[in-house]
Amino acid sequence: MTTLSRDGYQWTAGAGLTKGVPTIGLIEPSSNTTGQDEIYDLIVVGAGYAALTAARDATTSGLKVLLLEARDRIGGRSWSSNIGDYPFEMGGTWVHWAQPQVWREICRYNMRSELEVSPDYTSGCNTFSLFTTAGGQHAHELTHHEEDALLISSIGKFFDVDGRQGQTLMPRSHDEFHNKAVLAYDDLTAADRLDQIKDELTGKEEAALKAWLLLMSGATLETSSFYEHLHWWSLCEHSYKGAIDFLIKYKFRDGQSAFALKFWNEALSTGNLHYLFNTPISSITDTPDLTTVTSTSGTIFKARKVISTVPLNVLSTITFSPPLPDLKAQAIATGHIQQTTKLHAEVTNTDLRSWSSINPSAKLVFAFGDGTTPAGNTHIVSFGASSKKLDPEVDIEATKKALTNLTPMEIERLVFHNWSNDEYAKGAWFFPGKGFITKYLEALRESHGNVHFANSDWAVGWRSFIDGAIEEGGRAAMEVVRSSREKEVAVR
């Protein structure tokens, strides 16, 4: 059943701009308990993939769990709006078997055959639009082979700090500090590294590389961490092919919310999951024997343990008692810089199914055909960065113009979720400024008394990705389950 969430926006010529879009991830009824009079084994704060994994693993281990979520739906920053039997991915989208946590869950839920290829250049215009700015803006119509060649060359130069495409510096992406020499590179921004290789790049290479970096970071070249770009590159096996295959090739035919529901339904089937949606929290107070979570409405919930899956940029809205350690508090105060605009368009131009665009100086730096809707139209997905921030709901005409400036298109529908203006996200996927990871990563991962912290924002593997969220949720749940079992043994 598809019902309307408060989240997201949709625009059509007939209905204009409307807030709230349909999703199969909306949970009704919104609660199955008041939660007030019980003492739970565990309270999980949130309902994204970290929270869903933690709740599932804890409930299947026999713990009595209360899940509290501020939204009306599951999925957090990875959810789909199902419009006319077609999923528009509002946040995290792509998955791959190179992402080990994701692939384990896809196999667990027998969803291997439910993936489809995302960008497909086998038919249509097969055109790559590249915009350069040297001596004024110029539009170039190239092939996808030329697009790949530009990116392979320029990205390779960007990461070749050791003569081996970064492989010597970060040979193990899931043990990123293995070579201590890599730590020094957290003192560089993307702009710093670009300045080091500026004489090696052609104008087209520079434009393609800048847009790629803006797409990944959602920030500016002057603020985004070179180190974190290097970590992503290592995750992709230090290759452009790996980046394309692992990051944007495969997605779920029925959308991310269909995947998230598998976690939810398994947890619910245990009978150990209690939940309240539309319940934002204001504070977490911990004592040796009992932890309390207070909602913004003043309701108090009690448990022996808490797992907070609140994103980094939102943790500052929660009061912790006793106060968090200095390094963790500093990391929260600093936050991350990712402010991507992700915009979907349904257009009547069928040939654009195989079109892509790069424009580092535009409000939408990357765009490409990402599917065909049941109506036979082309689905375009596009991304902007904070360097030229686009708030689609503020000015729809300007938003449409940002798309048509890339290539002529007849827009029938726009769908989006403005993550920057979302009070429960305050930004899209995690991306840090320089110096952040080497200083704060371990502090962010540490528990605080009976309060555990799990979020993709500080995963050690696929940080910022769905895989990282599952990694973190599983880790936190294991810590809680182990502690509960140790306590039972001690009582006996």
Known binding positions for substrate: 383
- Residue ranges at the known binding site for FAD: 69-70
Q: Which residue has the tokens 């020499």?
A: 181
- Residue ranges at the known binding site: 69-70, 383
Q: Read out DSSP for 34-88?
A: --SS-EEEEEEE--SHHHHHHHHHHHHTT--EEEE-SSSBS-TT--EEEETTEEE
Of 28, 103, 48, the residue nearest 307 (C-alpha): 48
Q: Are 56 and 268 in contact (CB under 8 A)?
A: no
DSSP type of residue 284: E
Q: Are 44 and 307 in contact (CB under 8 A)?
A: yes
Do β-strands 39-45 and 300-308 pair in parallel, antiparallel, or remain unpaired? parallel
Relative orientation angle of helices 240-248 and 144-159, to the nearest 10 degrees: 110
Task: Report the C-alpha gap between 98 and 236 in whole angstroms.
Answer: 9
**Angle 208-213-219 (CA atoms, 0-180°, nearest 5)?**
130
**Angle 19-83-347 (CA atoms, 0-180°, nearest 5)?**
95
Of 441, 478, 450, 440, the residue nearest 308 (C-alpha): 450
The type of residue at 278 is N
Tokens of 391: 């708030």
SS3 442: helix
SS3 217: helix
Q: Read out DSSP for 140-159?
A: EEE-HHHHHHHHHHHHHHHH
Of 278, 365, 262, the residue nearest 73 (C-alpha): 278
